[in-house]
Structure 1
Amino acid sequence: MCRHLACLGPEEPLGRVLVEPPHSLLRQSWAPRRQRHGTVNADGFGVGWYTAEDPVPARYRRAGPIWADLSFADLARVVRSGAVLAAVRDATLAGADAEAAAAPFAAGRWLFSHNGAVAGWPESAAPLVSALPPVDLLSLQARTDSAFVWALVLHRLRCGDEPDQALGETVRRLADAAPASRLNLLLTDGTTIAATAWGDSLWYRTEPGRSTVVASEPYDDDPLWQEVPDRTVLTASRVGVLLAPLEDPAAVTPKEPCR
């Protein structure tokens, strides 16, 4: 279900990371190498990027496959950035949300993506509805599991959680409510990256002091790529990467929801 990528590094054309590598995100939309669920990611795509002049990222999202969008090909050739989050989508369920359902989701300086699925959606998520203020539910960008996951993460960020805490607590709550869920989450503010590996593949590649990439799968065969163990939360910057285990939800007392 889906492939996504976040990159921090020197400013360069978007296509340098998203299009040119031999197993780029573009190619992963029809020929992923390590995707465990689904085969083709043609139900939408999106890219968000940051510039030095503005901390709020720009986004380009569409409902169709990335390979069919000639406007994206032009954009990827000329737009430059040193901080990017992009995703190609394989929908969990059919729906009419179009590009609103395509990652990255955004709020303020944040960009977010979910690779996976909430098992039993939407019934399984009903116990978590009370964790959100009504205005957050009414503001969902799409009627999808990923949009709901993003609402849970964003609420924790607004309550003061650090990015890794917001992702970890959200994953634990969702895994407790829907144990068969796959919850690989990816979050950036253009300076740092936070991610979780929970039920699907996650990799990273870092050149300390220069660049860091976190992705569902490697976009080339560089030996610098390292796989993230399942049930792990990752935090990264241009300096390097830190990994920490994500405890089983049954062994952890959940934090009280903030209001």
Structure 2
Amino acid sequence: MCRHLAYLGPPLSLRELLIDPPGGLYTQSWAPRRQRYGTVNADGFGIGWYPQDGTPPARYRRAVPVWADGNLPDLARTVRSGAVLAAVRSATPGTTQDESAAAPYREGRWLFSHNGAVPDWTRALTELVGELTAEDLLAVESRCDSALLWLLVRHRLRAGRPAGPALADVAARTAWACPEARANLLLTDGRSVIATRCGDSLWYRTAPGAVLVASEPFEPSGPFEPSGGDGWREVPEHSLLRATAESVEITPLPAAPAPRPAPPLSERMPTA
């Protein structure tokens, strides 16, 4: 399991957003309040943020518990951004333990995170990854369920599919292939946030010109205090959330069609 969040709004320091808030993501690494699976999130963490000069997002990822990183407080008090995605990790059994498995994953302007788990993921996701080429699979960043889900999302984005349908399709197909899976997916390009609730908790909070999407509520700062904006609202189970700093839309996840049979590996191997 994991905890994650995404923020869009006026620039805040990473410390204001992640460390200082009571019950915030930093605290959720050892004391999550609404996590139904697992007890701590101590298998690594990651932060992705969009520089104010408009360049692609930067990342800081570690394989240690977030509280054990002595460099983070200095980084967090000096980096400011109006678009952030961050996560603390509780690893699925049998997955990679190094920082390559820590969200966010990245391509271009996209940042991605997975809050959940796919039990027996090497078997459960076999049918789904049949649509990928051998080149795609060999380029997987990490040996874990989250990295494979990111490959499936990225495959759709590269094909020109809009972010909302891409994320919804992967979450729905994952639930079809493995009913025990928990596939809360989170994606941002720094201008919008797309998220699924599929198996675990998801909440959002808005204020004028800002939105915060998170695995569980906490007391945020910046535009959300002392009483700015609306309170926390829970996203219904099996839903897709699309948000910008000005609006939030929630729709049901579609039912997933059966995966297509995978072609033989020899037909998916790149030719010389």
Tell me the TM-score normalized by structure 1.
0.94
SS of the equivalent of 2:121 reads: coil
Mapped pair 1:217 → 2:224? no
1:115-142 deviation per Cα after TM superposition (whole angstroms, max 9, x unaligned): 0011321111111221112221111110
Rounded to whole Å, the distance in 2 between the matches of 1:88 and 1:206 is 22
Give the 4+ runs in structure 1 shifted more than 6 A. Answer: 253-257
Report the AA paired with residue 239 of structure 2: T
- Structure 2 CA distance for partners of 1:203 and 1:109, relative to 1, 3 Å: same
Report the AA paired with residue 247 of structure 1: P
Are 1:4 and 1:25, in contact at CA under 8 Å, matched by a contact in 2? yes
What residue number does 1:245 align with? 252
**Mapping of 1:116-135 within 5 angstroms?**
116-135=116-135
Q: CA deviation at 1:247?
A: 2.8
**Mapping of 1:1-259 within 5 angstroms?**
1-208=1-208, 210-220=209-219, 224-249=231-256, 252=257
Report the AA paired with residue 153 of structure 1: V
1:209-240 deviation per Cα after TM superposition (whole angstroms, max 9, x unaligned): x1100000012287610000000000000002
Rounded to whole Å, the distance in 1 between the matches of 2:125 and 2:260 is 17
Q: CA deviation at 1:76?
A: 0.6
Rounded to whole Å, the distance in 2 between the matches of 1:157 and 1:133 is 15
What residue number does 2:265 align with? none
Are 2:127 and 2:259, in contact at CA under 8 Å, matched by a contact in 1? no
Instruction: Provide structure 1 residue ranges, at least 5 long, that are not aligned to the other structure.
Output: none
Q: CA deviation at 1:28?
A: 0.2
Across the two proteins, how many residue pairs are aligned to each other?
255
What residue number does 2:224 align with? none
Work out which of the two has the higher radius of gyration on C-alpha atoms and give 1 or 2.
Answer: 2
Instruction: Provide structure 2 residue ranges, at least 5 long, that are not aligned to the other structure.
Output: 221-226, 263-267
SS of the equivalent of 1:83 reads: strand
Are 2:130 and 2:261, in contact at CA under 8 Å, matched by a contact in 1? no
Q: What do you get for the CA RMSD once the two structures are aligned?
A: 1.9
Identity of aligned residues (%): 55
Rounded to whole Å, the distance in 2 between the matches of 1:160 and 1:255 is 20
Report the AA paired with residue 234 of structure 2: E
